[in-house]
Structure 1
């Protein structure tokens, strides 16, 4: 069932204009009206006078209450969204997203000044959504990227599949395609999953524009602003931002070499009553570790006890050894929603992912998919179908895994030469997260070093991208396909702690 946010706030007086306190702003005060509003709301959020999930007044309500123009309110809200303090949802309004900012006018003013000075991402500064991390067109060495070189994917197989997909029958050029996605691909996925992991029917498979689109549809369908969503910490960086964008509260559960801190998970579930938890069962991003059978069994038991959904991010499954734990296989899609993708074994350009869920939940996900963007690309889905159903595909994946195994060992050795050790020993896959044991400081942090690297022509993904907690040490997620290079070695050696 889709949960629609209420038009009335039950948390505090921020839900309507009559109850909203008049802010102490004025044209004769220091700073423009927008800056005064941003500072005032930042202080209220930081001091928890406005709680996470609180619905802000509409633009018109705020403008009328405080005697300012709607243009001023729109710019103020936009700045607060850019600062991460508010999130917006089309048709629902603005909501308080987080509290982790100093509750002082000076701190808020400093943050706002930085936003004014840098209204768009600078080419010499990096963040989790830096375009160069995703475009693939940058000349910088993509050490922090989430894709592999085309030659490792098997270019010939992918290009041949694309050519076959372009021979689409003329009759298929009208209409938008099937709402669930290309039927032949769904049938193939259902057959493969039923043989290897768990029983699933084609009508339980929904195709998406990649895994991130799948996460968005799930959040749209199963949450409302103010809901708690559990995530792994460290975990997938874009997911944290996406959860906040929907007005939900991401709560991190520590994950390390031994897996998830399930005792902490039980405590947080009892305290926050989460709606969802997102988890990488195998080859977790960024650590490369996998959960044991015992841990997945207990995780399912906790989900049952505290009544929350488990979203299994399973996009690295084909790179993992056979027999690794599967939440979907253990649960049979009763409480588990399984998300897959082909960006790691074929190419991220094809943008095809999948959701496997119960029939009743798939019906709601399809409805939301159609509302948000109609159908997905049949051309892309046909290309994926031709690629994965071709005879060379399994051999291509086996060759890819072997290449990654060798590259991973080389990467760990190269990083050791500059004093860096893995945060956790990966069990496979394309990433190694490694760093130095030195305590992080404002002058010596992953973000500072990543900015230095970008100026040197190297794209790094620092620890801050993946963590909700403040990192204690400095580490990075390294893509093993690009790590064993003299350029990176020279840079890391030059900044190595003495």
Structure 2
């Protein structure tokens, strides 16, 4: 045992207690920090040293350190490890839950970011105004779908999903991206259902799962729900931090990684072809799956990189959705995978919830099969381009700078480079809710403490709503109080 490990106190871990080992470690270290038993700047033992000293797995220590980092109690220095953070916040002394709560007004209304029922201006939401989707096309498709033959009302539908839609999707993908057969496509209740099926099928509690940071907000909770350990890989305008990815993959042996290749949420950027090739090489070298979140593909340029096309679905699982080009209410997504993997994904789908809605899938089939669908998508792309430019200009006028210049899509992430003392994105979002504005603060998308991070306070803005005078007036007021 090293000298550093020898002076580290053994923690009173109750292996028969109700709290998980991670909860106990986080709670105990939180108490030690707040009671100044561990002073600011104290170097923590390495993951392996802590694990050996306390008789726990390295995976347990990784998750505990990550949570303490999220709480602002620990900071990390590249190549040096973890340290007790300076300027400590008041952290809870009791064990924390699996996912640290937001404990603010925005907690209660966070579901409204997905429901579409809130009265607040949906600046932080992930849907577009209904009139942008081509209401007539969608309503006609729904009416057509409701004419389902009576004989189809007796069963649950095809386990893989409505055959005609799978055939149409296979033909479209084969013509535009990569060769795929209908029986390699599994239809789901949206992209999040697809992510859930992948996690259920390929991971076990304790597995490390790599995610982008910042990245899709719901994914972190989903990964933790399955007992896996999410490890963030930095994503910026330049793409993924490939050196960090290589280090984490070598150290932690991840089971899989979720990546938004094109028009990433929340940055709106795309990976270059060179980065996509490097990512595939690392996945091959360290033997982990890549789950390509490809739901924004139709809004992107045809020349953008595709992991599924480069890999041929050997170790890439491609997730698609129609929520961004038709309507999120239809809840139709898709999984494309290798012939060998689809049967197991299908088994898990049936065990977890049987088949998906054939009526919804018929509606999507009729909508995407019309001559006007492609024109509708082109019109939508043009509207979004104009809206993004207006948003960038409007936000610049109230002092917010983009984290990255979007290459397309729905979102602009922007904020102030320096955090004002005592102010966080979460607090500003709470105030926005009281003012009738639904904001999505950076805390929703990152595992790193936002107010101490290098990017300051930032928000994800939906370009369709962000140039609204109500929002801009609110942000001006916030800017004045920061000075």
What TM-score does the superposition give when structure 1 sets the normalisation length?
0.80
Match for residue 336 of structure 1 among 308, 316, 320: 316
**1:169-203: per-residue Cα shift (whole Å, max 9, x none)?**
00000111111000000000000000000000000
Q: 1:129 to 1:186 in 2, by over 3 A?
A: farther
**1:428-476: per-residue Cα shift (whole Å, max 9, x none)?**
00000001111364x2111111111011110000011101122220110
Matching residue of 1:444: 423
Counting matched residue pairs gives: 426
On the 8 A contact 1:148/1:481 being kept in 2, the answer is yes
Q: 1:193 to 1:482 in 2, by over 3 A?
A: same
Task: Give the Cα separation in 2 of the matches to 1:98 and 1:254.
Answer: 17
User: Which stretches in structure 1 are left out of the alignment for 5+ residues?
Assistant: 1-12, 24-33, 55-84, 87-95
Equivalences for residues 293-304 of structure 1 within 5 A: 293-304=273-284
**1:131-173: per-residue Cα shift (whole Å, max 9, x none)?**
2111111110000000001000000000000000000000000
CA RMSD of aligned residues (A): 3.0
Equivalences for residues 101-250 of structure 1 within 5 A: 107-109=91-93, 125-127=105-107, 130-250=110-230
Match for residue 386 of structure 1 among 363, 366, 378: 366
Task: Give the Cα separation in 1 of the matches to 2:427 and 2:125.
Answer: 18
Matching residue of 1:76: none
Matching residue of 2:470: 487
On the 8 A contact 1:53/1:247 being kept in 2, the answer is no
Residue 464 in structure 1 maps to residue 443 in structure 2: yes
Matching residue of 2:388: 408
Task: Give the Cα separation in 1 of the matches to 2:208 and 2:109.
Answer: 23
On the 8 A contact 1:180/1:207 being kept in 2, the answer is yes
**1:99-119: per-residue Cα shift (whole Å, max 9, x none)?**
555599x8435787xx9xxxx
**1:240-271: per-residue Cα shift (whole Å, max 9, x none)?**
11001101011111110110110110011000
Match for residue 356 of structure 2 among 368, 376, 400: 376
On the 8 A contact 1:234/1:255 being kept in 2, the answer is yes
**1:289-344: per-residue Cα shift (whole Å, max 9, x none)?**
00001110111001000000010000000000111000000000001000000000
Q: 1:21 to 1:208 in 2, by over 3 A?
A: closer
Matching residue of 1:66: none
Task: Give the Cα separation in 1 of the matches to 2:440 and 2:315.
Answer: 33
User: Which stretches in structure 2 are left out of the alignment for 5+ residues?
Assistant: 1-10, 33-49, 75-87
Task: Give the Cα separation in 2 of the matches to 1:99 and 1:157.
Answer: 49
Shift of 1:42: 5.1
Task: Give the Cα separation in 2 of the matches to 1:268 and 1:373.
Answer: 34
On the 8 A contact 1:97/1:247 being kept in 2, the answer is no
